[in-house]
Structure 1
Amino acid sequence: MAALVDPALQNALTASAPEGRLPVVFTLHAPAQRSGPDAISSAVDAALARAAAASGLPAPARKLFPNLMSFSVEARPAFIQALLSDPAIAAAIGEHSAGEVAIKPVEGRGD
């Protein structure tokens, strides 16, 4: 199954220079059984190794979020495209794609 890719990330991948780096957060497919942090770490490392082999680029450092079954990397577009093709990856979003997350204050009713 193909990974769900944020449209803003897809646009950034298309517009990015081949030597540029993009920060991306990836989410893994949920395993059949509950996995601990070590299993999540191993799955991420395996996906990164497969993407490195497919792209011919070294795997970048990763930041792991095991409780969320996700991780982030800053990598070249070719590496990100290879990682998006990996069967372990469920979804991807650019780190700066989320937009504004602050809740705007509500105007008072003039009481």
Structure 2
Amino acid sequence: MNSQYEDVLRVLEDCVKACNQCFDACLKEEDVKMMANCIRLDRECADSCSYAIQAITRESPFTAQILKLCADICEKCAEECAKHDHDHCQKCAEACRKCAQACRSAA
């Protein structure tokens, strides 16, 4: 595996964890319907980060493109999570912003 991706792998893994925790916590909120877009984007973001991890570790020739797409999805998730005052959403927004930046730098 290309060593240039070592740092971004850690950030991607952290983002997957934050999105999964946010997803789970949002499902437990009193007004789940209000959290629907957040839940959806948590899933999209965690899935795209997981796919980016796979692309990196198998040395896909499409890694740069996948990282760019992942960054776009992370930014959308961060925007949505930032709208909510819940601690889990704020932590997720922070992880997503960091991941978007790392993905863009690595791409």
Same fold (TM over 0.5): no
Structure that is richer in strand per residue: 1
Q: Work out which structure has the larger RCO, using CA pairs closer than 8 Å and 6 or more positions apart in sequence.
A: 1
Structure that is richer in helix per residue: 2
The structure whose Rg is larger is 1
